[in-house]
Amino acid sequence: MNSEIGIIVSIVFLFLVTFLTFPVRAAEDTTEVTVQVTVSQILIVDISPKLFTFSGFPGRVADPTDPSITQDTSSVYSKGYYFTVTNLGSVNITSIKVRADLPTSNPWGQGNPALHQIGDFVLLSNDTTAGSVKYYYVAQRLWSTVPPFYVMPPFRHCPSPSSWDESECKFFILRTAFTKYDDGEDWYIFIKKGANYTDGTVYVANEPRTSTQSGTTDFSSIEPTSLISNGNYGYAYLKLSSDPNRIYSLEGYLIVNTTANEVYFAYWDVDKASLASASGVYLWNQNLAPGASKDFRMQVRIPFGVPAGTISGKVYIIAIGSITG
């Protein structure tokens, strides 16, 4: 009897040992869940860096005080600095326009840097051609003043400065600097009134005043340019250059209201150009897809006659796209 019990226990023990030491095989099962995300339409634009700090002397192109800002060194004419616009939204950016802060009263000759605004200094470029990058002002505001005694007006309706009469003509100075010669440039401009100033004629100096030359002083033989008027504003496209090859010119729309107390020299600011029904120029006029970026260049020119101090203002990058529904 005891032997039979021992046999049974041995069999059970052997079975347990066999069962417990049997190899474990991995097993898995798969199911799935569907995840659906609807991305809403939104337009978001970003610019980097968000702060540019420059310093320099009047009559010079300014240098950045932040060493991390990347310089464009492709040409002696350039001396510009890169910034990047990125589409952070979910729809295409179809175009980009620009606006800059402008002074609200005449800052020149006042000795107060707080009266100036950044629009008088900032130029931008969307050019990617190495060695021939051209820069254009967003918009400058020009202010009428009395011409120097040594300047001969282009017509008898503008007498000498001692008896200056703005009822028939006005005198302006477009102030800038030029990289190649590292010098300031003052371009003299006369506007002669027609029925009003929007359909008047413009006389622009052939050469600017610089630190070494007087520029054009006799306007009696200057060929005039007629303003194209829409009734409220007139415009003429100007192409100025002190470069003998006329390659690196300063270009833009001269925009004049009926009394010529509101005069702009603008290129990238399409809203200013549209005042006179001019087409204007967008900084970017192609699709920029979500997640895509585009590099542009900035240049800061300090004209002659800007008082020492800090001038702070904003340049506005305005992205345009379409949202449906």
Predicted TM-score of the model (pTM): 0.86
- Residue 295 in this model has a pLDDT that exceeds 80: yes
Residues 6+ apart with CB under 8 A from 313: 100, 101, 117, 118, 119
- Listed range (56-60, 87-91, 115-119, 154-158) with the worst mean pLDDT: 154-158
Q: ∠ CA(121), CA(124), CA(127), 5° rounding?
A: 155
Residues 6+ apart with CB under 8 A from 188: 147, 151, 171, 172, 173, 204, 205, 208, 209, 215, 216, 219
Domain ranges of the chain: 45-321
The CA distance from 306 to 116, in Å, is: 8
- Average pLDDT, rounded, for the chain: 86
Mean pLDDT value across residues 107-116: 96
Mean pLDDT value across residues 40-58: 95
The CA distance from 183 to 210, in Å, is: 7
The CA distance from 204 to 222, in Å, is: 7
Q: Which residue has the tokens 């939104």?
A: 42
Confidence of residue 35 (pLDDT cuts 50, 70, 90): very high
In this prediction, residue 13 carries a pLDDT of 46
Write the pLDDT tens digit of every residue in 199-253.
999 999 999 999 999 999 999 889 999 999 999 999 999 998 766 554 567 899 9
